[in-house]
């Protein structure tokens, strides 16, 4: 049997997955601490809407990497909590758009300090130059993988 050298990309991918898990756990903990009546997945939907305040369900599914069917109950639960609402698309009446409510937008204000604290914690251990370099590398990797 040939002695093959380890693939240097595998630890990179493993660490990207581990980072994603760490971030998820961080936000789950902060949701509990702030006693917010939402799940991490609902927070992902809100975060997609904070970037663009009115989008369709398919765009939300793509943004949070879930299928459209699994996004429906998340949106239903957010509607029950008055954090989002469904509105008719003026361009296509068969299509509903999901829009933040005032209460949903206020969750952004609650979570901004959490995000800022995370950024501050990271920048205590990592330089801005390292963050920029890793960001560029991750963007490049996404482009490479998207081409496949």
pLDDT in tens, the chain (148 residues): 555 667 888 999 999 999 999 999 999 999 999 898 899 999 999 999 999 978 999 999 999 999 989 999 999 999 999 999 999 888 877 788 999 999 999 999 989 999 999 999 999 999 999 999 999 999 999 999 998 7
CATH numbers and ranges of domains, the chain: 22-147 (1.10.10.10)
Strand order in the sheet with 54-56: 54-56, 92-100, 84-89
Single out the residue of 57, 61, 65 nearest to residue 24, CA to CA.
65
Helix pair 40-51, 68-80: axis angle to 10 deg: 90
* Per-residue pLDDT, 48: 95
* Per-residue pLDDT, 93: 76
Residue with tokens 């829009």: 99
Separation CA 23–CA 125 (nearest Å): 16
């Amino acid at each position: 049997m040939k002695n093959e050298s380890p693939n240097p990309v595998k630890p990179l991918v493993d660490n990207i997955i581990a980072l994603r898990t760490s971030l998820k756990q961080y936000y789950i903990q902060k949701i509990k601490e702030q006693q917010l009546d939402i799940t991490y997945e609902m927070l992902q939907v809100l975060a997609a809407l904070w970037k663009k305040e009115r989008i369709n369900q398919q765009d939300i599914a793509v943004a949070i990497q879930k299928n459209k069917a699994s996004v429906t109950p998340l949106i239903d639960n957010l509607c029950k909590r008055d954090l989002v609402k469904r509105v008719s698309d003026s361009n296509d009446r068969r299509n509903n758009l999901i829009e933040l409510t005032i209460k949903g937008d206020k969750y952004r204000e609650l979570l901004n300090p959490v995000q800022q604290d995370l950024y501050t914690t990271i920048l205590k251990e990592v330089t801005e130059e390292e963050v920029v370099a890793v960001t560029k590398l991750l963007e490049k990797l996404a482009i490479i993988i998207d081409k496949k």
